[in-house]
Amino acid sequence: KRPTHRPAGSNARWGVLARAAACARAAADHGGKDAFVRYSGSAPSSTPPKNFLEAGQIDGGFFQGTAMLAGAIAASALVPFEAQLTMLTKTVEAFRYAGLSRDAISDDVLLTDYLRKNALAAQNVLIASPTFYFLFSWITGQSVAVCCARAITGTMRIVPFMGFFYGAFAILAPFATQYYMKQGGTTYEESASTANMALMLGGFVFIEAIVELRGCGVLFTQMTISSFLVFVPALIGRLAAGVLTQQAKVGTESVPVVPEEWEHSEETWKREAFKTAKALCIDVDFFTTAAGTGVFQHVLNAVTFVLLTRGNKTTIFDIGKFLLLGVNNTLASGAVQAVRTLVMRTFFGLAWNMASSQPWETPVFNAAVKGH
């Protein structure tokens, strides 16, 4: 057999060509449709879970959150109205005993702007959260059944953290507002806005980070310092456009983004557009919450997905790679991932904005306000 002669220094090139040909044959063997699915990022790159319980993230956190939420609902239904009113009145007295001045914040304002508003804000987040966790699972390639399961398990898993988040906010925000009123001589509205931002940046952002990561199924043992260095700044940007916007919106009427005169316009399409915007609460706050948080959410999704797949081995390089190349390490996958994130924020923003725009009945708080 005659020996094959290759030019000197060509072995490396032949090796590269051989590997490329092997990859091409493998792609052809799997078929065009499957190749496109992998290429565009429609399927997750992580190892499949062993069973549906594992895929749906039905774990101890889910059962703990479910028990807490069930207990809260049962308490609100079974505890007599007068007993609830008495507890609320005692709570106001506790604020006064702790040093909150009526000259700075009256009883009515304390009940309405802090206790009631944060209780409803927590409720509204839980109402909208299934949309968030369903869509996060969907954009990372999970089946519809798994997406539905994670929508529920993710929401239940954040119950204790949301309770602590909004409960602590309701307690600390009045004192922070009073502090800024006395120190800066500013109005109540200006001081309340400054206090909210200071509290959010002063520690609550880390609680929110844990809320989101745990809701998506990330374990505490999977979280790393490097991931928080990316996650927290992005979360701050999203919080400014999301949580603070929706927290301030609680109980206010939604004003459609389309002109008011369209409601009685002679043109049918304008009347229908106004009716749709009114029904779906499509207002300025909706666009602030949805579009304004899209970029930040893309970064947050990258950190979350990489932590889920690589755990505590995650590096900043891994996160940057996901932002550019998506779940399947291609530019097409990265582009698809960005578009899906925008869709995710749009639908979640719609659900959250609608919940915040509802005129929820709070008879205990109403009675407490009248009593003061």
The pTM score is 0.70
Tens of pLDDT, residue by residue over 118-142, are 999 999 989 999 998 999 898 888 8
Q: Which residue has the higher pLDDT, 152 or 265?
A: 152
Q: Show the CA angle centred on residue 316, arms to residues 314 and 321, nearest 5°.
A: 95
Radius of gyration (C-alpha) of the chain in whole angstroms: 26
Position 44 scores a pLDDT of 40
- Of 39-48, 167-176, 199-208, give the lowest mean pLDDT range: 39-48
Q: What is the mean pLDDT of residues 303-325?
A: 89
Q: Which residue has the higher pLDDT, 349 or 363?
A: 363
Tens of pLDDT, residue by residue over 102-116, are 999 999 999 999 999
DSSP string, 291-351: GGGHHHHHHHHHHHHHHHHHGGG--HHHHHHHHHHGGGTSHHHHHHHHHHHHHHHHHHHHH
Position 291 scores a pLDDT of 63
Residue 41: pLDDT band (50, 70, 90) is very low
Contact status, residue 256 vs residue 282, Cβ threshold 8 Å: yes
Contact status, residue 348 vs residue 294, Cβ threshold 8 Å: no
